[in-house]
Amino acid sequence: MRLAFLIPSLEIGGAERAVALISKELSRSTEVAVIIFRRPVMYDLSCPLYLLEDRSAGRITRFISYVSFLNNYRPDAVISLLTSAHTLNALTPHRVRKFLWFQNYPTGLNIRHPIFYGINAVKFLTIYHVADGILAVSRALRDVLIRQHYAAPSKTHVLYNPIDNELIKKLSREEITPEEESALGDPTIVNVGRLVWQKGQWHLIRSFKKVTEELRKSKLIIIGGGPLERRLHSYVERLGLRGRVVLMGPRLNPPKLVARSDLFAFPSIKEGFSLALLEALACGTPVVSSDCLSGPREALAPRTSYKFGSLASPEFADYGILMPVPDGIMRGPESPLTKEEDVWAETMISTLQDDNLLKRYRERGPLRSADFDVRLITKQMLEIVNGYINK
């Protein structure tokens, strides 16, 4: 079998990391290539990489380059990730098997504006309809694609994001720099994710202010970059948390800091299926996460079903603590904590003071992360794709 992944870029991100991991594992036994639209490339690959265009080229040039690639490489299947790659994959006339791997909810999907559901439903009935298979990165996402966007149930499958447990354990043991050492507190809370609205880090900073009043040596580390960096710095300054909250920027090796932290806090407003959360489990770092749509519940409480907005208090699940979802409103730093933010603060304080609870989650996390290992996910992906190729 000959496979190809189509993705806009290989910059730092969850979808990009998933492609890098699974293509590396595939290359051990299968011909595989990765196709991108633009540089830079932030991940090492073990397979050929094809660049369709530079930044100055247009969509027509991209289309022509992609058709040329298909004619020359002749893959049995192409798996696309992210919206622009899905559109190119679905619309290009070629006999190759086409799979769209949805890492997030379709562009424009926002629970507060249901009018966008109709726009995306049209895509599934027209542009995406020609795809052989739809891959959803969580069960909850699969359900949304079927119920609200009319994806055909018979060709819509769940394929979770992969992590490399062996690599994460190795990275977690690497030495940290003096700068990183100085960022650690007693205790340390850590968050990993892009600094964007859906990650909700300003809610975490506001809650952490209350944590510092009880745990006076505590620190919060936020690893990631993005458009909200300046605003988050403003929250830190105005709340008097300079030196207590450290915005580190993006890191290629978060596990070494996550593994040395006492709690991984994940206040996301919405997700596809977070790799950062899975890596925290692999590091053995206890997780406290919002019960957002989607992913955290499937990772931390796999025997339960997701019900939107139903959680008002902490749920101490099998593999971590599920929390009320923050409301996503960017209030002023000095305004009173919301009910959800206050629950987050109290839960982080009580959890960090409960050695038995922390020990239990440290032991259980790696057991759960094994279910998402890249070797297992690769095998599942091949079974899905082979099922269509052999029809």
Is the CA virtual torsion 169, 317, 288, 18 positive or negative? Answer: positive
What letters, b where the CB count within 10 A reaches 16 and e where it falls short, cover 100-117? bbbbbbbeebeeeeeebb
C-alpha dihedral over 222, 227, 324, 354, to 10 degrees? 0
Check: CB of residue 15 under 8 Å from CB of residue 137.
no
User: How many other β-carbons are positioned within 10 Å of the β-carbon of residue 62?
Assistant: 16
Give the whole-angstrom CA distance, residue 251 versus residue 329.
27
The CATH homologous superfamily to which domain 2-162+373-389 belongs is: Glycogen Phosphorylase B; (3.40.50.2000)
Place of tokens 């490489």: 73
SS in 3 state form for the chain?
CEEEEECCCECCCHHHHHHHHHHHHHCCCCEEEEEECCCCECCCCCCCEEECCCCCCCHHHHHHHHHHHHHHHCCCEEEEECHHHHHHHHHCCCCCEEEEEECCCCCCCCCCCCHHHHHHHHHHHCCHHHCCEEEECCHHHHHHHHHHHCCCHHHEEECCCCECHHHHHHHHCCCCCHHHHHHCCCCEEEEECCCCHHHCHHHHHHHHHHHHHHCCCCEEEEEECCCCHHHHHHHHHHCCCECCEEEEECCCCCHHHHCCCCEEEECCCECCCCHHHHHHHHHCCCEEEECCECCHHHHHCCCCCCCCCCCCCCEECCCCEEECCCCCCCCCCCCCCCHHHHHHHHHHHHHHCCHHHHHHHHHHHHHHHHHHEHHHHHHHHHHHHHHHHCC
Give the whole-angstrom CA distance, residue 61 versus residue 71.
15
**Residue positions counted in the chain:** 391
What letters, b where the CB count within 10 A reaches 16 and e where it falls short, cover 312-344? eebbebebbbbbbbbebeeeebeeebbebbebb
Tell me, what's the pLDDT at 13?
A: 82
CATH topology classification for 165-371: Rossmann fold (3.40.50)
Tell me, what's the pLDDT at 370?
A: 98
User: Model confidence over 315-358: pLDDT tens digits?
Assistant: 999 999 999 999 999 999 999 999 999 999 999 999 999 999 99
Structure tokens at 333: 């730093």
Q: pTM for this one?
A: 0.90
Structure tokens at 363: 């032991």
Give the whole-angstrom CA distance, residue 258 versus residue 261.
5
Tell me, what's the pLDDT at 116?
A: 57
pLDDT in tens, the chain (391 residues): 999 999 999 988 889 999 999 999 999 999 999 999 988 899 999 999 999 975 556 778 889 999 999 999 999 999 999 989 999 999 998 889 999 999 987 754 444 455 555 667 778 878 888 999 999 999 999 998 998 888 999 999 999 999 999 999 999 999 999 999 999 999 999 999 999 999 999 999 999 999 999 999 999 999 999 999 999 999 999 999 999 999 999 887 899 999 999 999 999 999 989 999 999 999 999 999 999 988 999 999 999 987 767 799 999 999 999 999 999 999 999 999 999 999 999 999 999 999 999 999 999 999 999 999 999 999 999 999 999 988 7
Give the whole-angstrom CA distance, residue 117 versus residue 134.
17
Tell me, what's the pLDDT at 78?
A: 98
Closest to 100 in 3D by CA, of 122, 119, 84, 113 = 84
Give the whole-angstrom CA distance, residue 302 versus residue 331.
33
Same fold, 2-162+373-389 and 165-371: yes
Beta bridge partners of 100: 80, 134
Give the whole-angstrom CA distance, residue 307 versus residue 253.
34
Q: Domain limits of the chain? A: 2-162+373-389, 165-371
